[in-house]
Amino acid sequence: MSQHMMFLQGNEVCVEAALYAGLDFFAGYPITPSTEMAEMLSIRLPQNGGKFLQMEDELASMCAIIGASLTGSKVMTATSGPGFSLMQEALGYAVMTEIPCVIVNVQRGGPSTGNPTHVSQGDVNQARWGTHGDHAIVALTASSNQDVFSITVDAFNISETYRTPVVLLFDEVVGHTRERVLAPEPGEIPLVGRLHTSVRGGVDYHPYLPREDGRLPMSDFGGVHRYNVTGLFHDMWGFPSNNPQVVHGLLRHLVDKIENHANEIARYKEYYLEDAECVLISYGSAARSARHLVNSRRPRGERLGLLELQTLWPFPDQIVREKCAGAKYIVVVEMNMGQILQAVKAAVPDPSKVFLANRVDGDLITPTDIRNILRLIWGKGV
Amino acid sequence: MSVKDYIRERFFPHMWCPGCGHGIVLNNLLRAIEDLGLNKTGIVMVSGIGCSSRISGYVDFHSLHTLHGRALAFATGVKMSRPELNVIVPMGDGDALAIGGNHFIHAARRNIDLTAIVMNNRVYGMTGGQYSPLSGYGTSATTAPYTNIDHGFDIVALAAAAGASFVARTTTYHVMELRNIVKRAITHKGFSVVEVMSQCPTYFGRKNQMGSAVDMMRSYKENTVPLGSKEKQEHPELIERGVFVEKELPEYRAEYDRIIERARKG
Ligand SMILES: Cc1ncc(C[n+]2csc(CCOP(=O)(O)OP(=O)(O)O)c2C)c(N)n1
Ligand code: SF4
Ligand SMILES: [Mg+2]
C-alpha cells in the first residue's frame, strides 16, 4: 500500500473506501452513530456527479438504493439499529431479486432506541436473520480503520460478484475512532464491476438464468432489455411463479450461491494460533481489546491466540474448526449476549470447550475484562 | 402499434376478477402511451403490491414489482439514476396512502418527475376486502363488520397540499377523459398524481350493496361532475373530476443537476 495518508474516523474511512470502490448513489436517513457518513457523502458524491438522497426514512432509503442499483449504479446506505430494523423487508427484496447493494450498520446498543451513543455488537443475528424467509446473507466487519477501508471495498466487490446485498456491521467504537489510514492508489485494490450480459438488445434475455459458474449477468434496468423484476418467486424471465420446482430451484440458488462460497467470502486475521492452547475468537472493536491482551500475554509465555473474524456471515465454520483444532479452550469475545458464540459452538466438534467473554453495558470490553473472564475459565496464568 | 403490442402475452390470463376496474385503467394507460408514441424501452413501470400493482407485470416495458407501499421510493432511485426514462407508478389506494402514505407525500413534496396512478377502489382488494384509508366513514368491509369509523382521505386535496405539481381525478367510466388525463400526467414534468376511481365489485361492491360492476360504473357517472360545474354547488356531495393542479415547478432531478454543478465548482 502506498502513499496517501489520512487521519480519519472509521465512518469517514468507510466513505472514502466506498468512493474508491465506485459508489455513485447513496440514500439514507440520519441516525447516530452513522450520521457522519451521510453528511460526508452529501458533499462528496455530487462532486463526482454521483447522487446523494436524504429520504423520508430508512425504508425509503433501502428501496431507493435498490432501484438505483438495478439501473447500474453502485449503491450504499448507512444506518444503525433502529434504521436497520426498518430496512429488513427491502433487504429481503434485494436478496430475492439479487440486486447488489451495501448496507452499513454502525451498531449501537439495543433493543429499541437503546443506547444511541454507545457501542454494541447486538445486531449480528439480525444481520443474519432480520428479514423473513430462508435466505443467505453476507455480513462483514472490521476492527481498525485500515481494515475498514479494505473490508468496505470487499463488500462492494462481493455484492457484485454474487449479486447480493452485503451488510457492513461496524460498531460505534470503530465508527468514531480516529486513526491513521493509508489510502491505496487507484487500481491498487482490484474492483469488481457489474457483470453485464452479452445478449444484444432485441434478443430474448433471461435476467434470472445463472451461467454455468452460477453468476447472473445483468442488464442495466431501463437499458436495451425489457424485463420483469419481482419479489415473488420467479422463473428465469423474472415472471412470478409458484411452480414448486421453480420455487425450490430459486431458493436453493439463493442460499447455495453464498453458502457454497463461504470459504471464498471468508476474511479473517490470525495471531499466534499455531500453538495456542486458548483461542480467542473476536471481531469489530472487541477484537482490538482481544488483540491487545494476546500481544501483552504472549511475552509471558501464555499460549493465547486470536482468530479475528471479518466475515461473520456466511459463518466460516470450516475455518473456525481448523483454526481451533488444537485449542483446549475457545473464548468468544463479543459485545452481545453470545451471538457469534452460538455459531462457534455449532462449528466445533466439542461445544463444551467454548466460552463467552462479553460486555453489554455500552462500554468497550477491555483487555482487563477479558483477562478476568479468562482467569475463571482457564484457571491459571493471565 | 396496437395495445396488444404493449402487453406481455406470456403473463396472461390476468389475475383480475370479472368486472374489476383495474383492467380498464391498464387499457387506457396503454392507449395513452400509444397516443404519445412513446418507445417501450423508455418506460419503466414501478409498482408495489396489490391487485392494482399487478399492472406492471402485464406490460412490455421495464417492470419493477416491489413491496407493498414502497413503489415510489424504488421509483425515486430509478429516476435519479436514469432521468431520461418515463417512470410510471400504478398504485392501489392502500398501497399509496396507508402503508405508502409517507412516501407519497414526500415524493409530492420533492416534485420528482414520476407519474403516480392511484387506482382507488376504496378497499384492500388483494387481501380480500378489508377497509382502506379511502373506504370512508360508514362503509362496510371484512374488517369493519359494524361499519367503518375511519374517515377517508381526499387524494386530490392531499396530493395538492403535499406539493404535487399535477393532480387529477377521473373514473373508469370516463375512459376518454382517463386516457387524456394520463397523457397529460405522463407529459407533465414533475410529480403527477392521477386518482382513478376504479370499481372492486368483488369486495367493496358486494360489502356495500353497490350491485354489479356495471352498476358501480354507472354510479361513477351519476355521482361525479366535471371540475367547476354548477351542479357541484347545488349538490356538494358530488365528486369532481378533472385536472385540479397543473403548474410548472422546479423538478427534483433537474434541481439535483444544479447541485452537481455547484458541488463541482466547489
Ligand atoms: C408489508 C405488507 N403488509 C401487508 C401486505 C398484504 N397486502 C397485500 S396487498 C394489500 C392491500 C392492497 O390494497 P390496495 O393497495 O388498495 O390495492 P388493491 O388490491 O385494492 O388494488 C395488503 C394489505 C403486504 N403484501 N405487505
Ligand atoms: S379483488 Fe377487487 S380489486 Fe382485486 S381483482 Fe378482484 S375486483 Fe379487482
Ligand atoms: Mg384498493
pLDDT of residue A219: 96
Neighbouring CB atoms inside 10 A of B84's CB total 8
**How many separate helices (H) and strands (E) can be counted in chain A?**
14, 16
Asked whether B152 and B133 are in contact (CB, 8 A), the reply is yes
Check whether domain A268-378 has CATH 3.60.15.10, yes or no = no
* Identity of the amino acid at A303: R
Grid cell, residue B226, equals: 366535471
Residue B52 Cα: closest atom of ligand 1: 21
Position A274 pLDDT exceeds 60: yes
Q: What percent of chain A has pLDDT over 90?
A: 95
What is the best residue among B22, B52, B118, B123 to mutate for testing ligand 2's pocket, by most ligand atoms within 8 Å of CB?
A: B22
CA A92 to CA B252: how far, in whole Å?
A: 29
Nearest residue in B to A241, CA atom? B11
Position A84 pLDDT exceeds 60: yes
Report the range of poorest mean pLDDT among A68-72, A239-243, B9-13, B117-121. Answer: B9-13
Provide the mean pLDDT of chain A: 96
* Identity of the amino acid at A50: G
Q: Hey, where are the domains in chain A?
A: 3-184, 268-378
Residue B128 Cα: closest atom of ligand 2: 1
Whose cell is 430508512? That residue is A58
Q: What is the pLDDT of residues A16-61, one digit of tens each?
A: 999 999 999 999 999 999 999 999 999 999 999 999 999 999 999 9
Which residues have any ligand 1 atom within 6 Å of their CB? B 49-52, 68, 92-95, 119, 121, 123-127, 132
pLDDT of residue B151: 98
Q: What is the pLDDT of residues A276-332, one digit of tens each?
A: 999 999 999 999 999 999 999 999 999 999 999 999 999 999 999 999 999 999 999
Asked whether B26 and B170 are in contact (CB, 8 A), the reply is no
Q: Is the CB of B22 under 6 A from ligand 2?
A: yes
Q: Is the CB of B120 under 6 A from ligand 2?
A: no
Closest CA to ligand 1's atom 10: B50
Short-list B6, B107, B93, CA closest to B48: B93
CA B62 to CA B171: how far, in whole Å?
A: 26
Q: Is the CB of B20 under 6 A from ligand 2?
A: yes
Residue B199 Cα: closest atom of ligand 2: 7
Asked whether B206 and B180 are in contact (CB, 8 A), the reply is no
CA A173 to CA A171: how far, in whole Å?
A: 6
Chain B residues in contact with A231 by the CB 8 A cut-off are 65-67
Phi, psi of A294 (to 5 degrees): -60, -45
B15 touches chain A (CB under 8 A): no
Q: What is the pLDDT of residues B66-81, one digit of tens each?
A: 999 999 999 999 999 9
Q: SS3 for B170?
A: strand
Q: What is the mean pLDDT of residues A182-202?
A: 95
Give one word for B75, left, alpha or beta, with left for phi > 0 and alpha for psi -120 to 50: alpha
Q: Hey, where are the domains in chain B?
A: 3-265
Closest CA to ligand 2's atom 5: B16
Superfamily (CATH) of domain A3-184: Thiamin diphosphate (ThDP)-binding fold, Pyr/PP domains (3.40.50.970)
ipTM of the complex: 0.97
Distance B30 CA to ligand 3 centre (A): 21
Q: SS3 for A130?
A: coil
Check whether domain B3-265 has CATH 3.30.460.80, yes or no = no
Position A381 pLDDT exceeds 70: no
Q: What is the pLDDT of residues A104-143, one digit of tens each?
A: 999 999 999 999 999 999 999 999 999 999 999 999 999 9
* CB spacing of A67 vs B260 below 8 angstroms: no
Chain B residues in contact with A223 by the CB 8 A cut-off are 41
* CB spacing of B256 vs A51 below 8 angstroms: yes
Low-confidence ranges of chain B (pLDDT < 70): 1
Q: pTM here?
A: 0.97
At B80, which helix (H) or strand (E)? helix B71-81
Position A382 pLDDT exceeds 60: no
pLDDT of residue A55: 98
CA A311 to CA A301: how far, in whole Å?
A: 30
Q: Which residues contact B166 (CB under 8 A, 6 or more apart)?
A: B184, B185, B188, B190, B191, B192, B193, B243, B245, B246, B247
Give the number of beta-carbon pairs within 8 Å between A and B.
126
pLDDT of residue A1: 43
Q: Chain B: nearest CA to A223, how far in angstroms?
A: 7
Q: What is the pLDDT of residues A208-225, one digit of tens each?
A: 999 988 899 999 999 999
